[in-house]
Amino acid sequence: MAVLWVVASGVLTSVGSSAVAAEPDSTYQRARRSFFSFKNDPGRRQYRHHWFRVIKGFQAVSTKFPEHALAARALYTEAELWKGLYGVSRKHSDLAEALSKYELVELNHPASSLADDALWQRSQLFLHKMKRLPEAAYEVSDLLRRYPEGDMAKRARATARELEGTKPHEPDDRRSAQLPFLRGRPREGEGQTLVSRFSHWSNDSYSRVSIHLDGACEITTGQVEFSSQASLPSRVFVDLHKTSLPSGFEEPIDINDRLLGRIRVAPNGADSVRVALDLKAHTVEHRVLVLENPFRVLIDVYGGAGALDSSATRAGSTISRRVVIDPGHGGHDSGASGVERLLEKDVVLKIGRRVQSYLEREGVEVVLTRDNDTFVSLEERTAIANRAGADAFISIHANSHEDPTVRGIETYYLDVTDDQYAIRLAALENQTKREKLKDVHLALSELAARVNTPDSKRLATGLQANLVQLAARTNKGTRNLGVKASLFYVLLGVRMPSALVETSFISNPQEGRLLSTGAYQEQLAAAIAKGVLDHFNSPSED
């Protein structure tokens, strides 16, 4: 099943997949040609999907050849496209994409001639589009500090004078941006796993560091307490065995948010690498998770109790509830596919947006993990949820089965389970091969036991009841497949009641057709929203 699903996604990754064997130059030239034909076609510029097609062309360059000089150009042009799209759409998320792509130009390609241009563009977006003067001041001062001789310096100085008296403030997205790609040499000894890069997300009470590796490895982890003798801060470390470190990590990586100081990476003995995170005083707890395909190690760090349990401080007060809605899949990951080439990623995004408007009408604040057809990694989804400090997390999916007569609605919460059916499904949603799941199972069972299971089960039960009741009005003959426990990575590490809804079977002709209609999407969304509201209004049993 998992293989079928990957093949099905080929439809939407035609740019990417044809670029696999291609050279950076030809991939870039192809993207440019599509850009110019698009630029001269005002009709096409009215539609988001045409923008996305051009954007994808440039993404093929920057993701497949991240070290190549053309990747900087591709990222910069992509940022320009998001800015242009914002001009049409006025959607804040488009502007945020533009800001983050400019940021990546500067982070990944600091020596490129476009790096200071990218910072300049960021300052102008903060200044003119967002009216955020402290952030604009930060960007121009950063530009002048790092590229004082560059061709943007003169303009930056003029803006700095304009903003004199404004206290610079580091933009939030700077802290959540990916850390630089490492410019390392290729691996030396065969058989060794190689550390490739780090990424990071944080807010005041939560910080997540993700270590990306080019293959699987064994890990051990531990904590070292503050030592006044060595004047070293308390730190948590992860040892990556049979792993080596390419050049590019000699200097500590600065995180410097509220919980973490620096990441230090160094060889530890002959064939192991130690990654150590300096903990600040606010830190109270941490945990380490392992994800596969691609293999990465996540370190979650949590702050003091007051900041940690944001749902408790908000409950019952006049401050509204906050919910994270997670439309599954996206971008090159299409999810399951069904009748008339209907793709799970498209359907669940539409349902997610409808849930958002339902809940917002009820005064509930909603954070979407994605608001367009982009790929969001599993750890990023949970990081978004934890960073938002939300009161509930709902992942929305459409189900699939090789037997087209199989249909129905089911809802999951996170748990370890021996249920073979649930394992098959978990493999499909987790992008993990089924054979590998058993080991992952064992490794994660201890962590899963620490999840807030009773509250998640209660949330899942309420969602399922509403879905079956409301959706069955249109979806005659559907089956209530019940509430189940399973091991979904997307739910793993989420610090709030969380559930995953399998709305209907996209592989069933009747349910697949229904899923494509606005009316049924609306019904599903209403049921999910009602399930969330019921959850907030009924007291917890424990």
Q: Which residues bind Zn ion (CB under 5 A)?
A: 328, 335, 397, 429
Q: Which is nearer to Zn ion, 282 or 354 (CB)?
A: 354
Q: Which is nearer to Zn ion, 13 or 203 (CB)?
A: 13
- Cβ distance to Zn ion smaller for residue 68 or 397: 397
DSSP state of 277: E
Q: Which two tokens stand for residue 166?
A: 């404004």
Closest distance of CB 199 from Zn ion, Å: 23
| Shortest Å, Cβ 412 to Zn ion | 11
Give the C-alpha separation, 514 to 371, whole Å.
Answer: 22
Type of residue found at 3: V
Q: What is Dmax (Cα atoms) for the chain?
A: 72
Nearer to Zn ion, 155 or 434 (CB): 434
> In the complex, what is the shortest distance from the CB of residue 397 to Zn ion, in angstroms, rounded to a whole number?
3
Taking only Cα atoms into account, the Rg of the chain, rounded to an integer number of angstroms, comes to 24
- Bridge partners (DSSP) of residue 394 are 325, 499
User: In whole angstroms, how close is the CB of 478 to Zn ion at the nearest point?
Assistant: 18
As a whole number of angstroms, the distance between CA 119 and CA 131 comes to: 16
C-alpha 450/C-alpha 415 separation (Å) is 10
| Three-state helix/strand/coil letters over 103-144 | HHHHHHCCCCCCHHHHHHHHHHHHHHHCCCHHHHHHHHHHHH
Beta strands across the sheet bearing 285-291: 243-244, 193-202, 206-213, 296-302, 285-291
Give the contacts of 532 (CB within 8 A, at least 6 positions apart). 323, 355, 359, 364, 392, 394, 459, 463
The phi, psi pair for 194, rounded to 5°, reads -120, 135
- Beta-ladder partners of 498: 393
Amino acid letter, residue 230:
A
Measuring CA to CA, which residue among 208, 225, 213 is closest to residue 187? 213
Judged by beta carbon, residue 233 or residue 328, the one nearer Zn ion is 328
What are the residues facing 237 on neighbouring strands? 222, 276
Question: Rounded to whole angstroms, how far apart are CA atoms 320 and 359?
Answer: 11
Q: To the nearest whole angstrom, how small is the minimum distance from the Cβ of residue 399 to Zn ion?
A: 8
Q: How do beta strands 219-224 and 260-267 pair? A: unpaired
**Residue 439 CA, distance from chain mean position:** 25
Tokens standing for residue 478: 């559907």
How do beta strands 392-399 and 498-505 pair? parallel
Which residue is nearest to Zn ion, using beta carbons?
397
| Least separation in angstroms between CB 328 and Zn ion | 4
Which is closer to Zn ion, CB of 114 or CB of 336? 336
- Whichever of 16 and 335 has its CB closer to Zn ion, that residue is 335
* Cβ nearer to Zn ion, comparing 389 with 408: 408
In terms of CB distance, is 328 or 497 closer to Zn ion?
A: 328
CB closer to Zn ion, 30 vs 397: 397
Whole-number Å distance between alpha carbons of 227 and 276: 15
At residue 173, φ and ψ (nearest 5 deg) are: -70, -15
- The CB-of-381 to Zn ion minimum distance in angstroms stands at 12
Q: How far is the CB of 346 from Zn ion (least distance, A)?
A: 12
Q: Tell the smallest beta-carbon distance from residue 349 to Zn ion (Å).
A: 12
Nearest approach, Cβ of residue 502 and Zn ion (Å)? 8
